[in-house]
Structure 1
Amino acid sequence: MGRNHRIGRVSEEIKKSISKLLVNGIKDPRLNSRIITISGVDVTADGSFATVYITPLTLADEDKEAVNKEVLEAFNRAKGTFKKNIGKDIKMRHVPELIFKIDSSMDYGRHIDALIDEIHNEN
């Protein structure tokens, strides 16, 4: 029980730290010129890896795949900066290795809603 609680706290602290850096201190224009949500962080049981799920806001005239690729590249390039900042914010012996992934759960939810609406409209 205590171990899971600690992992949950570490996940939330990593999320806060990355969000704070996005708002206040990142210099990459691919990251500071766009609205990006950190939707979740999953830390492995041993604390060696943290998967960070990100959702960049895309405008109607933008190619979503291109924006996702660009933002993901920018996050991977700034991985060292994020780890350094997490190390300062959270007192840990070892900062987890960061893995960035695009969170597609919102798109999946919209798809499921569309399918449900389609079923209701057929009836």
Structure 2
Amino acid sequence: MAREYSRTNRFGEVVMRELALMLQREISDPRIGMVTVSHVDVTADLKYAKVYVTRFNGFESEQDVQECLQGLNSASGYLRRGLAGRVKLRSIPELQFVYDKSLENGFRMDELIAKANKPRQEDD
């Protein structure tokens, strides 16, 4: 039976915390902007990490998303070296950045709920 809180989950949280700090303080690429790490999935062998990112101010187009991901992927070597200095592990996973749309979906759902409740508020 698998443990509820495995090593990969703990390591994913450490990577998430350290990457968020590095992106905030050390990366100055204008393509990236104000990016935050929302989740990190690490494979069982700790060789690959899928890093889900979102941007605070959102994106205007799909092209902005691609530029941001290109900036993050170009900085992935620097980020891996930074992780190697901060995390004591024999090998640091290869980082793959993916845009997380859950924040945008949440905002869209809030707008839809507000729009659905608006006629009720006007009746009262």
Give the TM-score, by structure 2 length. 0.78
Query: What do you get for the CA RMSD once the two structures are aligned?
Result: 2.4
- Aligned with 1:29: secondary structure? coil
Counterpart of 1:9?
Answer: 10
Corresponding residue of 1:37: 36
Q: Which residue of 2 aligns with 1:102?
A: 99
With 1-10 and 87-96 compared, the bigger mean Cα shift is at 1-10
Between the aligned partners of 1:3 and 1:74, the Cα distance in structure 2 is 35
Identity percentage over the alignment?
Answer: 32
Larger helix share, 1 or 2:
1
Shift of 1:107: 2.4
Q: CA deviation at 1:79?
A: 0.8
State the shift of 1:17 in Å: 1.6
Q: CA deviation at 1:6?
A: 1.4
TM-score by length of 1: 0.79
- Between the aligned partners of 2:26 and 2:6, the Cα distance in structure 1 is 29
User: In the alignment, is the contact (CA less than 8 A) between 2:35 and 2:53 conserved in 1?
Assistant: yes
Which range moved further: 22-31 or 73-82? 22-31
Q: Which runs of 5 or more structure 1 residues have no equivalent in the other structure?
A: none
* Count of residue pairs the alignment pairs up: 119
1:62-101 CA deviation, whole Å, 9 max, x = no partner? 6232321111010000010011011111111111111100
Aligned counterpart, 1:77:
74
- Bigger CA radius of gyration: 2
Aligned AA for 2:56?
A: L
Letter aligned with residue 26 of structure 1: I
Please give the alpha-carbon distance, in whole angstroms, between the structure 1 residues aligned to 2:39 and 2:51.
6
In the alignment, which residue of structure 1 is the partner of 2:24? Answer: 23
